[in-house]
Amino acid sequence: GKSGYEHFMLKEIHEQPRALRQCLRGRVDELGGRIEFEELSRLSPERLHLVAAGTSYHAALYGASLFRVAGIPADAYHAHEYALSPPPGEALVVGVSQSGETADTLAATRAARGAGAETLAVTNTVGSTLARECDHVCYIRSGPEIGVAATKTFAGQQTTLALLAEWLAADTTDRETIAALRSLPSDVQAVLDNSRSEAVAESYLGSEAYFFIGRGLAYPVSLEGALKLKEISYEHAEGFPAGGLKHGPLALVTEQTPVLATVLGDGEAARKTVNNIKEVQARGAPVVVVTDGRSEADRYADHVLRIPDSEERTAAVLANVQLQLFAYHTAAALGRPIDKPRNLAKSVTVE
């Protein structure tokens, strides 16, 4: 059942600390400063192609960035496009799928196998078709997800891919990273306990459209925030790379279009995103900033959704939790059938 929550989605959002504890269990060796994957034999791919759809594609984009940072060439592809024209060159093809039954993702990994590639499944579902068909499999261990909107499984995919990037890149992992990973469940709990997302969501009901912007690791988070909002609230929501605004989307920005900007850390990506925030504000758009407070972003925000201070890769998990709650509360205020949005199915088994 829903354990007292009004919707499975809200229950699953609140299950994230437990799901992430489960995901991390046995995989972070604090003393040895090492990441471990019991179920995987040693892999040393020269490059990675991550294939996925929907929310899982956003996790794949996030994962690909982390692999690249770790020194392993990696790209994320929409599974439905990859299957049609697989890029040349040898790669370990990683199918990322909650259900392990998504037709698009299966088509992509099958095409890859047909071309002689090795495949790895990153999935939530033991015994799923993807798990059975790939050469290697690792589980995100999120537990069953009932809501059509993927929530805890996105966090599980992000975390599993972050662990995989560390595991593949080096024999040892530095203390800060280990600490950030280990405190992820309690940091998510802190977001859940203190989020002001309900009041913020309610203050923007009736907006013409909602735009989500971010750079670097905040970019896939922005895409995911927009997908979640459109899927369950039926409001028009789009995610853009913050740097892309001036190349077109800025024409859509008005007083009627709140901009939700995710700003992580205080590096170059954060500084440039602050400039983009100023630009949308100059056009009269209300700005909601999701941030750890390390940059100047708060100063330009109408509302701030705060996340605990963390490393950028874990902060991206925390920021997404705020956006999940924002989407949920918007949809709840509009009285939408949150767990079963119109026209959508939990598992998409036809391409």
Catalytically active residues, by annotation? 346
Is 224:253 a contact under the CB 8 Å cutoff?
Answer: no
In the complex, residue closest to ligand M6R by CB: 54
Element (H, E) at 75: strand 74-78
CB of 149 to ligand M6R, least distance (A): 4
Interface with ligand M6R by CB under 6 A: which range of 40-48, 96-104, 110-118, 322-330? 96-104
Residues 6 or more apart whose Cβ sits within 8 Å of residue 192 = 13, 14, 16, 17, 321, 325
* Cα 78 from Cα 52, distance rounded (Å): 6
Interface with ligand M6R by CB under 6 A: which range of 99-107, 190-198, 270-278, 318-326? 99-107
Q: Which of 149, 192, 213, 260 binds ligand M6R (CB under 6 A)?
A: 149
What does the per-residue mask of binding to ligand M6R show for 310-349, with x meaning CB under 6 A?
Answer: ----------------------------------x--xx-
- In terms of Cβ atoms closer than 10 Å to its own Cβ (0-12, 13-18, 19+), residue 340 is middle
* Cα 338 from Cα 335, distance rounded (Å): 8
φ/ψ of 163, rounded to 5, equals -65, -45
Q: Which of 97, 262, 273, 322 binds ligand M6R (CB under 6 A)?
A: 97
**102 belongs to the binding site for ligand M6R (CB under 6 A):** yes
Interface with ligand M6R by CB under 6 A: which range of 94-102, 263-271, 290-298, 302-310? 94-102
Pick between residue 98 and residue 119 the one whose CB is nearest to ligand M6R: 98
- In terms of Cβ atoms closer than 10 Å to its own Cβ (0-12, 13-18, 19+), residue 266 is middle
Farthest CA pair distance, the chain: 54
Amino acid identity, position 139:
Y
**231 belongs to the binding site for ligand M6R (CB under 6 A):** yes
**168 belongs to the binding site for ligand M6R (CB under 6 A):** no
CB of 121 to ligand M6R, least distance (A): 11
Q: Applying CB under 6 A, which residues contact ligand M6R?
A: 53-56, 97-99, 102, 105, 148-150, 231, 344, 347-348
